[in-house]
Structure 1
Amino acid sequence: MQDEALFLGLDLGTSGARAVVIDAEGLAVASGSAAMADFGPDPRSPAVWWAAADHALRAALAGCDAKRVAAFAVDGTSGTMLPVDDAGAPLSGGLMYNDACGDAGVLACIAETAPPTSAAHGSSSGLARAVLLARAVRPHLVLHQADWIAFHLSSRFVTDANNALKTGYDPVAGQWPDWIGDAGLEVRLLPRVVAPGTPVGPVTAKAAAEYGLRPDALVVAGTTDGCASFLATGASEAGDGVTALGTTLTLKILSDRPIFAPQSGIYSHRILGKWLAGGASNTGGNVLLAHFTPERIAELSARIDPAKDSGLDYYPLLRPGERFPVADPDLAPRLTPRPDDDAAFLHGLLDGIAGIEAMGYARLTELGAPPLARLRSVGGGAGNTVWSALRQRRLGVPFAAPDSMQAAYGTARLARAGAARA
């Protein structure tokens, strides 16, 4: 029965793998995790990726009735690429999402051929990594990390539109564009693309036997770890936003139309019938921790009245340069005057970051996104209740608690959506 079905999400993150199993109501019933470092020292090794994924899968399935798992999906780090032969065997190590392309010729060729709205520009380009790998070996295909992990379970070479975005995929036209060939990579070396949440097919007989799955368990097209983290919060309607208050400040909002502003690093992912757009500022917890310890921040926050403005006009940055909501590589930090009272200074920092957050959502609206209607917050700063109250007063929208902060939970939701489509 469908109400007895379970759905599994597998997340390949920066340092490890995590699997979460949910039921039809979205309740997490089992989980498992593994650190990459436990299986080898090389984070670029696909053998290490798979060992961690396998361990997390087995641990999660041991905590539930594996025969009830109706569908599963995989997310991986955005832009991590791997060349494989026609049997899916890796031909080299992967190039990771944070391996900057240092080949000026490759980057220049992409810059000359790719449309300005493409996410394939820059040293973090998945396409640039794919070009380098295709030159180094003679691959059958160049896959994304999530594609290769899912291949172990489905034996199908398929990717999703979210992972494909930084590799040059056109999410509006819904295809690999011809200009990719002019940029240095034969399009035939890239896998078929489907929408995230699309049923790809049943699990292989081998995987079903190894993991105790039923033979008709579906493999569903996954997404990136960033998109999965957004889905995990429960945001689902146009106007729903998620702010990540981590080392930097990242804003994302669901839109009924795509938003592109490459000068600010803004691109749009197509997911579950809507568009996910967002931007990242250089402000955030990095500035706070440059001045105070976490313990001191908690102590000083208790002395701040969030119903009042700080009276300080700060733009908190560690160093000159901003991406979003202002695209200015020379923008100077604004952190003066500094009051003698540390609580007043912290109030100014929190107020300044909250102001940048409000500017960011306003900027996304200017670019075509719907006005922010409801907000969920994740990251370390989300636990500061004084800051949350200050931010809510500035934004003027309801705040909702995130359902989960685990990317694997969001991917499990994607698996559930895929099963509903089958």
Structure 2
Amino acid sequence: MYLGYGLLVTSILLTMATPLTAPSKSFVSAGLDFGSSGARISLIRDSDEIYSRSVKYDDYADPAEWISALHTLTSELPTPPVALSISSTSNSLLAVDPSTPTLSPLAVSMYDDAPVLPSDLLQRQQEALQKGELDAVEGVDYQTPFAKTGGATKALALLSSTSVPASLIYPQSSYILHNLLLSSMPFTADWNNLMKLGYDPTAHDYIDAVKNCLGTDATQKLPSGAPTGTYLGTIDTPDTSLKGCAVYLGSTDSICAFIGALSASTQSLSDPSSLEGLTVTSLGTTLATKMLSKRRVYDASRGVYSHLLPANVLFESFSCSAPSTANLWLAGGASQAGCRILRDLEFSPEELAHLSTQIPPDMTPTNDLYPLPLNSKGERFPIANDSKQTNVDPSKYETRLSLLQDVLFGIANNVELEGYKILNELGAPTPSRILTSGGGSNNDQWTVIRSRLINSWLDPDSDADSPISVSKAPPSRDAAFGAALIAHRSHN
């Protein structure tokens, strides 16, 4: 059933070292993304998408729907892939029964869940956090796992909620991968899916604060960590179009989206560090920023954390024999603010398009807005504040145009730009180039506003129109596409 931590790591390393048949010069890879509203598959040949398909969930927290989507998306493919990887929501965890072949789910805690711990477990958590502060290792985040939606908080709640003593904690991605590989799937997950659970990729272990919280034996219930791109096994199920497909560890949805958006800018590089500062900011329902950095930065009070990514999955033609120092950190954070406020204010796509063309590029806001969603509470980045609320009051505006101007400016100035400033204060670089994904990237006037603000901060005295490029990410380069790139580069 469970190999034990030491034996498992040895097993994974031996698996990674197992030689694979060299792929042909051109082959098809698959990426599967399991998001908050549905799942999508992307088939690519080399770096070009040749097929995609999406399905919606009725309940994003139902594991049965994930597996149903998996089977739907992988059936009747136009061409069988030779390599596959998946993306999933970060910090979505399950307690499972390992005695069943398909790991029967016992309890689920999704990425946005904030478990309410009983007093005894809350005290245990607080004691572990206090000891973690005393024993903190420089540069290692001991606080994020214990946040309200932190992985250690969820694991503590999940393990206490089940009556199965041998239950294990699986991230969403590992659970789905197990249903692909079944008995050949090791009990592991990629570093970045385990970051909020307290896994330190530089120490190849969970931090002491998490061990103290869950107990010495309880950490054996958590997956071991391995780099994105690790070879896991080959699908041998006879009645599937995926038979013979090699499976590799993917990453979180935001990281896979970053890799997808970055792909057009990072091919054939000999020195990955030359792209330090390259940034992808998603302007979707919420705003999320990720920036390549040589340094690991974090500050739980401002919602900043860093993921570690192997250079060979970031860069198309980077040698796998390169030293680990070529790996880069992905520093950033995710805000609660974003385009959702536009829906809350009932801006239709047509009204947005019409009014946006009337916004002057040098507009001055009439109010200093922090546009969190209406009727909600809490912010994560660039400040972590569970009680913060929006200050948007549409009744104070005489026109819809002035309201829209202030909202767009508020997100650009008080959320996005403030995030870049904080990352820089903590030791990350300033942005060298910014690619924008998500629905907000389609608003050209907003892009002009953002570019003006960012460049004014970077060089207040510069007369250049746009010394730092702020542009839209290539189309179709989403999380499923990024997962397919991981599979392609790992197999290649």
Return the TM-score normalized by structure 2. 0.75
After TM superposition, give the deviation of residue 72 of structure 1 in Å.
0.9
- In structure 1, the partner of 2:4 is none
2:88 paired with 1:81? no
2:400 paired with 1:370? no
After TM superposition, give the deviation of residue 348 of structure 1 in Å.
2.9
**Which of residues 250, 255, 259 in structure 2 aligns to 1:227?**
255
After TM superposition, give the deviation of residue 262 of structure 1 in Å.
0.3
Equivalent-residue separation in structure 1 for 2:418 and 2:56 (angstroms): 38
Residue correspondence of structure 1 range 401-416 to structure 2 within 5 A: 401-403=472-474, 404-416=476-488
**Which of residues 10, 13, 22 in structure 1 aligns to 2:35?**
13
- In structure 2, the partner of 1:53 is 70
Cα distance 1:88–1:133, how it changes in 2: closer, same or farther (>3 A)?
farther
Question: Which residue identity is paired with 1:196?
Answer: T
Equivalent-residue separation in structure 1 for 2:426 and 2:445 (angstroms): 30
Cα distance 1:74–1:284, how it changes in 2: closer, same or farther (>3 A)?
closer
Q: Residue 236 of structure 2 contacts residue 243 of structure 2 at CA under 8 Å; is this kept in 1?
A: no
Equivalent-residue separation in structure 2 for 1:330 and 1:97 (angstroms): 20
- In structure 2, the partner of 1:163 is 193
- State the secondary structure of the residue aligned to 1:205: coil
- In structure 2, the partner of 1:33 is 54
Q: Which runs of 5+ in 2 are unaligned?
A: 1-22, 134-140, 267-274, 311-326, 456-467
After TM superposition, give the deviation of residue 231 of structure 1 in Å.
1.7
**Which of residues 209, 224, 237 in structure 2 aligns to 1:179?**
209
Q: Residue 81 of structure 1 contacts residue 143 of structure 1 at CA under 8 Å; is this kept in 2?
A: yes
- In structure 2, the partner of 1:399 is 470
Cα distance 1:103–1:322, how it changes in 2: closer, same or farther (>3 A)?
closer
Q: Residue 259 of structure 1 contacts residue 266 of structure 1 at CA under 8 Å; is this kept in 2?
A: yes
**Which of residues 202, 212, 234 in structure 1 aligns to 2:241?**
212
After TM superposition, give the deviation of residue 323 of structure 1 in Å.
4.0
Q: Residue 8 of structure 1 contacts residue 20 of structure 1 at CA under 8 Å; is this kept in 2?
A: yes
Q: Residue 34 of structure 1 contacts residue 53 of structure 1 at CA under 8 Å; is this kept in 2?
A: no
After TM superposition, give the deviation of residue 340 of structure 1 in Å.
4.2
Equivalent-residue separation in structure 2 for 1:393 and 1:182 (angstroms): 48
- In structure 1, the partner of 2:147 is 122
Equivalent-residue separation in structure 2 for 1:327 and 1:213 (angstroms): 43
Query: CA RMSD for the aligned pairs?
Result: 2.7
- State the secondary structure of the residue aligned to 1:120: helix
- In structure 2, the partner of 1:255 is 293
Equivalent-residue separation in structure 2 for 1:126 and 1:133 (angstroms): 10
Equivalent-residue separation in structure 2 for 1:323 and 1:89 (angstroms): 33
Cα distance 1:378–1:91, how it changes in 2: closer, same or farther (>3 A)?
closer
Equivalent-residue separation in structure 2 for 1:138 and 1:326 (angstroms): 39
2:108 paired with 1:113? no
Equivalent-residue separation in structure 1 for 2:128 and 2:52 (angstroms): 44
- State the secondary structure of the residue aligned to 2:125: helix
Aligned length: 405
Equivalent-residue separation in structure 1 for 2:108 and 2:32 (angstroms): 19
After TM superposition, give the deviation of residue 398 of structure 1 in Å.
0.7
- State the secondary structure of the residue aligned to 1:3: coil
Q: Deviations over 1:281-320 (max 9, x none)?
A: 34332444444513333222111121x1315352333578
Q: Residue 32 of structure 1 contacts residue 56 of structure 1 at CA under 8 Å; is this kept in 2?
A: yes
After TM superposition, give the deviation of residue 324 of structure 1 in Å.
3.1
Q: Which runs of 5+ in 1 are unaligned?
A: none
- In structure 2, the partner of 1:239 is 277
After TM superposition, give the deviation of residue 121 of structure 1 in Å.
1.5
Cα distance 1:348–1:332, how it changes in 2: closer, same or farther (>3 A)?
closer
Equivalent-residue separation in structure 2 for 1:57 and 1:192 (angstroms): 27
Q: Residue 159 of structure 2 contacts residue 167 of structure 2 at CA under 8 Å; is this kept in 1?
A: no
After TM superposition, give the deviation of residue 321 of structure 1 in Å.
6.0
Question: Which residue identity is paired with 1:120?
Answer: P
After TM superposition, give the deviation of residue 379 of structure 1 in Å.
2.0
After TM superposition, give the deviation of residue 337 of structure 1 in Å.
12
- In structure 1, the partner of 2:439 is 380
Which moved further from structure 2: 297-306 or 160-169?
A: 297-306
After TM superposition, give the deviation of residue 418 of structure 1 in Å.
1.6
Equivalent-residue separation in structure 1 for 2:295 and 2:453 (angstroms): 26
- In structure 2, the partner of 1:355 is 413
Equivalent-residue separation in structure 1 for 2:166 and 2:56 (angstroms): 29
2:490 paired with 1:418? yes
- State the secondary structure of the residue aligned to 1:139: coil
Q: Residue 98 of structure 2 contacts residue 167 of structure 2 at CA under 8 Å; is this kept in 1?
A: yes
Question: Which residue identity is paired with 1:224?
Answer: T
Equivalent-residue separation in structure 1 for 2:214 and 2:231 (angstroms): 31
- In structure 2, the partner of 1:149 is 176
Cα distance 1:413–1:34, how it changes in 2: closer, same or farther (>3 A)?
same
Which moved further from structure 2: 249-258 or 285-294?
A: 285-294
- State the secondary structure of the residue aligned to 2:249: strand
Q: Deviations over 1:216-238 (max 9, x none)?
A: x3211111122222222126532
Cα distance 1:249–1:211, how it changes in 2: closer, same or farther (>3 A)?
same
Question: Which residue identity is paired with 1:183?
Answer: C
**Which of residues 335, 359, 368 in structure 2 aligns to 1:314?**
368
Cα distance 1:248–1:110, how it changes in 2: closer, same or farther (>3 A)?
same
- State the secondary structure of the residue aligned to 2:239: helix
After TM superposition, give the deviation of residue 149 of structure 1 in Å.
1.2
Equivalent-residue separation in structure 2 for 1:112 and 1:369 (angstroms): 31
- State the secondary structure of the residue aligned to 1:309: coil
Equivalent-residue separation in structure 2 for 1:407 and 1:152 (angstroms): 20
Cα distance 1:321–1:145, how it changes in 2: closer, same or farther (>3 A)?
closer
Equivalent-residue separation in structure 2 for 1:167 and 1:104 (angstroms): 20
- In structure 1, the partner of 2:222 is 190
Equivalent-residue separation in structure 1 for 2:257 and 2:490 (angstroms): 17
Q: Residue 33 of structure 1 contacts residue 55 of structure 1 at CA under 8 Å; is this kept in 2?
A: no
2:104 paired with 1:90? yes
After TM superposition, give the deviation of residue 212 of structure 1 in Å.
3.3
Cα distance 1:335–1:383, how it changes in 2: closer, same or farther (>3 A)?
same
Q: Residue 44 of structure 1 contacts residue 93 of structure 1 at CA under 8 Å; is this kept in 2?
A: no
- State the secondary structure of the residue aligned to 2:205: coil
Q: Residue 145 of structure 2 contacts residue 152 of structure 2 at CA under 8 Å; is this kept in 1?
A: yes
Q: Deviations over 1:174-222 (max 9, x none)?
A: 212343332125111112210111222x31322xx2323463x321111
Equivalent-residue separation in structure 2 for 1:337 and 1:249 (angstroms): 25
- State the secondary structure of the residue aligned to 2:148: coil
- In structure 1, the partner of 2:165 is 138
Cα distance 1:284–1:178, how it changes in 2: closer, same or farther (>3 A)?
closer
After TM superposition, give the deviation of residue 412 of structure 1 in Å.
0.8
